[in-house]
A and B are shown apart, each in its own frame.
Chain A
């Protein structure tokens, strides 16, 4: 096992920058997730660590040793690909044993290792089959097995669950979590799925347009998004964004009759701001306290039952807001309600830079 250090790592193709230089220290045994929309540079970053892509600038070290120029096989990393990338003409056993055979490991040792791993992953009955005879989940398990038998210092996962159907994805996600707990190898995991990121990660690196937007624990990026992009990307359904101008009595929401009080110290010096409120941080009240400045009258325009939850599309003085409520009993479309916004969970962003307005700078 080893730590991984990215020191000002960057990638460009000619004049096009794919990944802007950034620093990252991945601790030994950490599960790190690279998260972002497609084309954000997350896969490129992973492939640079794997050695499948050359590094334009910066230094990459694994276990304290610089590996920029090292061959993929000598980096002590193993990778699981999105489309499994198994050798279709080889059996499951041979697929897993290939790397060890190439290391010229004795046959008995190879057999022992492959059998141990297939035990761990429940692949014992399939060792002599070809990948074509396996289901998607089994194939991905073989791909993971192929990575584990090599006892790498670092695991690299490139969207390993995206090809699976929703149900299997949840199952495999839990298996991965358990596996990481059991073998505890440093893991770097690329995904565009925020649920995978939130559930698996010790820390998440959120990338956007080749730039690192934020690095933090799942709780951190959810509670304290540093940019508007992160705020909108993390959380489902996405955060409500309201463009606001400073007015005498608070934030006047542009194009509506809605005025919000200024949350304590949030962007006091700003003339304009983008306010962000998560759908789960708005409460629908039976009968709100009219004297509370954070209680507003609203009208339900649309209600969607998701099962445990329901989403309400509200109109609040002309401003549309998405609210997440309990699915057992909720007001239907057309109902007039009151809502309360949690002032402590209102986020503010600079519309020009997209950076979060700090609450500390009161």
Chain B
């Protein structure tokens, strides 16, 4: 083997890392600049002076930020729980119980998820208004869960498919019913699948914008992305506040990812089969 393809590979990897990280690095650097540094021309790459002022003053500049992050967290967590609960049961039924139209249903679920969320907004808003679900956690959790359920059903169904069906058959021979098999055999064995799916759904929900914007109209109920995007005032564009708030809004997701990535251990089914 020659070494040339390796260099090509590294170059491509480096390029994609650079492209995807540049905005984030720029964002973080911006949060350490003062106003003059942000508007300096030619652009300042390294903050000078390097200042923590933005972080110390963020809560006076944007007293609602913690509330936004808390809202995002509540909605994200609720959406993850609902999605995993409903998605897990649906995925198990569709992938393992030998339902007649399971394949068609799976495709149907996928097809439904193809609608752009924005196209659902008017009718969703109308219904939520009538049901009194606007500006409630329940409302946005339901909306997000509806949005991300198809994804979680597909993801979990494909995870269930990797479990040897014989384990469930052995459980049937041992005398378990479907619900018991799901709870005591399938759930513990699919833990990594649930963690991975839940993590992604949480991040989806955390980042979701259009529904969060329209369904949460009161400032106190806004989620982080919506709240931060509404900082620009009539006359000013407070980059320092925006960048600092965004960095702070990323941190909880980073922490959660870091915690649960350790839980995503493959090989939990090792020893079941060959």
Contacts and interface: CB of A to CB of B under 8 A. Distances in A.
Contacts of B185: 87
B103 interface: no
Contacts of A50: 173
Contact of B169 (A78, A85, A88, A99): A85
Interface stretch (A127-135, A188-196, A219-227): A127-135
Interface string A87-101: 111000000001100
B270 interface: yes
Interface string A59-87: 00000000000011100011101111111
A101 to B, nearest CB: 9
B175 A88 contact: no
Contacts of A73: 172-175
A52 B175 contact: no
Contact of B268 (A86, A88, A136, A163): A88
A139 interface: yes
A103 B170 CA distance: 15
A99 B174 CA distance: 4
Nearest to A52: B169
Contacts of B164: 83, 85
Interface in B103-129: none
A102 interface: yes
A131 B174 CA distance: 17
Contacts of A86: 167, 170, 271-272
A98 B167 CA distance: 12
Nearest to A136: B274
Contact of A131 (B171, B176, B188, B271): B271
A136 B171 CA distance: 20
Contact of B170 (A79, A102, A130, A136): A79
A50 B270 CA distance: 26
Contact of A88 (B172, B176, B271): B271
B5 interface: no
A52 B189 contact: no
B57 interface: no
Contacts of B23: none
Interface in B243-274: 268-274
Nearest to A129: B271
Contacts of B268: 88-89
A102 B172 CA distance: 11
Interface string A131-151: 111101001000000100010
B189 A163 contact: no
B271 A78 contact: no
Contacts of A51: 172-173
A146 to B, nearest CB: 8
- Could you say which of B164, B175, B185, B274 has the most chain A C-beta atoms within 10 Å of its C-beta? B175
Interface of A: 50-52, 71-73, 77-79, 81-89, 98-99, 102-103, 130-134, 136, 139, 146, 150, 163
In the complex, the 8 A-B pairs of residues with the closest C-beta atoms, listed nearest first: A132-B271, A73-B175, A85-B166, A131-B271, A83-B273, A88-B272, A99-B174, A102-B175
Interface of B: 164, 166-167, 169-176, 185, 188-189, 268-274
14 contacts: A52-B173, A79-B170, A79-B173, A82-B166, A83-B272, A86-B170, A88-B167, A88-B270, A89-B189, A99-B175, A102-B175, A130-B271, A134-B271, A139-B271
Given A73-B174, A88-B269, 20 more contacts: A50-B173, A51-B172, A71-B175, A79-B170, A81-B170, A82-B166, A83-B272, A84-B166, A85-B164, A85-B273, A86-B167, A86-B271, A87-B171, A87-B185, A88-B189, A88-B272, A89-B268, A102-B175, A130-B271, A134-B271
